[in-house]
Structure 1
Amino acid sequence: MRRALALCLLPALAAPAAGCELALLLAVDVSGSVDGREYAVQMQGLAEGLRDGVVTEALVKAEAAVALMQWTGASRQELSIGWTRIERPEDVEALAARIGALPRVWTEYSTAIGQAMTFGMGVFDQAPACRRRVMDISSDGRSNEGTEPAEIRPGMDSLAIIVNALVIRGEDAELPDYFARNVMTGANAFVVTAESYDEYPERMRRKLRRETERPVSALPAGTIPARFEP
């Protein structure tokens, strides 16, 4: 009897542990404050950031799932690239190529960060079961329409969704602090600052490196650590 039971259990014990370490949702601001050149810089910066050798290796090792949404005003959010599993470097290259060629959906609407976060929660409902869930928001402005993002943070925390941000500061010196206190949330969450869109690609590359690394320790949800300055 024991031998038969052992034989029944053997396949389960021998099977490799399969699973996704990271579900990463890239949320790109396409509001009216972003011109055509700046949109292109964002998409190419994302594509090249994913192609970074360290990022690619981390995504493959994590068996990650990556998706991309575009967002602007209160009723305008779109999942432009659905959840894409990363199992080989070739998967990263294919995803980067799609992002680099992705057409812009909107050009002239407001900045509704709270609605983007709410939409992102729905996108995660369709994500593979992953140990970490991260929403990566990039933007050059404060929310000026719809629900305040600070009101959405508890919902993100309840679903264990980490929200990081890449902020293009421009002329708003306090913009990174605004994102740190109203948008960023979750264990080990952080904000990266680019002074202008010209700095965006390098800051995004470094941000993706940090995002794809498995965190060594965790902070309580809602904690605001020091802003990450590359």
Structure 2
Amino acid sequence: MIRFVFASLISTLPVTAQACETALILTMDVSNSIDSAEYRLQTDGLAEALRDPEIVETMVAGENFLTVVQWSGVDRQAVSIPWTQMRTALDVESFAQKTRVMERAFVLSDTAPAEAIFFSLRLFDQVPNCARKVIDISGDGTPNGGSDVRAARTAAERAGVTINAIAIESMGLAITNFFRGAVITRNGFVMTARTHREYPATIRAKILREISRIFG
């Protein structure tokens, strides 16, 4: 009888949700410097990256959470695809499809990456059980609006959040160097895409590195 009561009690206790390995915010720069063709290269490139078999396998193994944020000026940040947990390959495919048809959130606006970071940091309150929290920043320009990017980076580091970046360069390494010096956290990294046409291959390599089950 005691054994039966104990078993019944255990069955009524709340089940703790299994923690995910990585919560990843994919942020997309849609400021004035991004034309419609470049925007489509970003969305199509992201969708194709998410369909990569290695990424699908790693996403599902870690039961990772993904969300997409579009950003540009000071008051221009929006969640385009809400947090979604990748429990099966179908979850990843569905997310990729939503990415491909995603409408552009803003046009004709400034570039304010600090506000994009502050906005993204607040979103992690919705996924408290993930071991790693990562903001993926991509852009083809330096700030011309908003607050101090270094202050946003400091806030991320204090919150235990990693910031990585893709610098989309037309020439030189000015944006790469800016991201390295002012945007990414101490445990983050920056990758360079030569023009938007290299973005698809770069975002694939970047996501795979971000969700790798080998930390670091």
Q: What TM-score do the two structures reach when normalised by structure 2?
A: 0.91
Alpha-carbon displacement from aligned partner over 1:33-88 (angstroms, at most 9, x marks no partner) = 00000000000111111111111100000001100000000111001111001100
Q: What TM-score do the two structures reach when normalised by structure 1?
A: 0.86
Distance in 2 (CA, whole Å) between partners of 1:93 and 1:47 is 9
Range with bigger deviation, 118-127 or 82-91: 118-127
Distance in 1 (CA, whole Å) between partners of 2:124 and 2:74 is 19
1:119 aligns to what?
Answer: 119
2:87 aligns to what?
Answer: 87
Secondary structure, counterpart of 1:192 in structure 2: strand
Paired AA for residue 169 in structure 2: R
1:199 and 2:198 aligned:
yes
Identity across the alignment (%): 36
Runs of 4+ residues over 3 Å off in structure 1: 2-12
Alpha-carbon displacement from aligned partner over 1:182-218 (angstroms, at most 9, x marks no partner) = 000143x11010011111101111111111102345x
How many equivalent pairs are there? 213
Range with bigger deviation, 157-166 or 123-132: 123-132
How many angstroms does 1:129 deviate by? 1.6
Distance in 1 (CA, whole Å) between partners of 2:182 and 2:133 is 19
CA distance 1:186–1:21, change in 2 (3 Å)? farther
Any stretches of 5+ residues in structure 2 without a counterpart? none
Distance in 1 (CA, whole Å) between partners of 2:118 and 2:85 is 23
Distance in 1 (CA, whole Å) between partners of 2:17 and 2:29 is 37
1:174 aligns to what?
Answer: 174
Distance in 2 (CA, whole Å) between partners of 1:216 and 1:65 is 17
How many angstroms does 1:179 deviate by? 0.1
Alpha-carbon displacement from aligned partner over 1:77-120 (angstroms, at most 9, x marks no partner) = 00111100110000000000000000001111110000000000
Any stretches of 5+ residues in structure 1 without a counterpart? 218-230
1:220 aligns to what?
Answer: none
- CA contact 1:27–1:136 (8 Å) conserved in 2: yes
2:208 aligns to what?
Answer: 209
RMSD: 2.2
How many angstroms does 1:124 deviate by? 1.3
1:223 aligns to what?
Answer: none
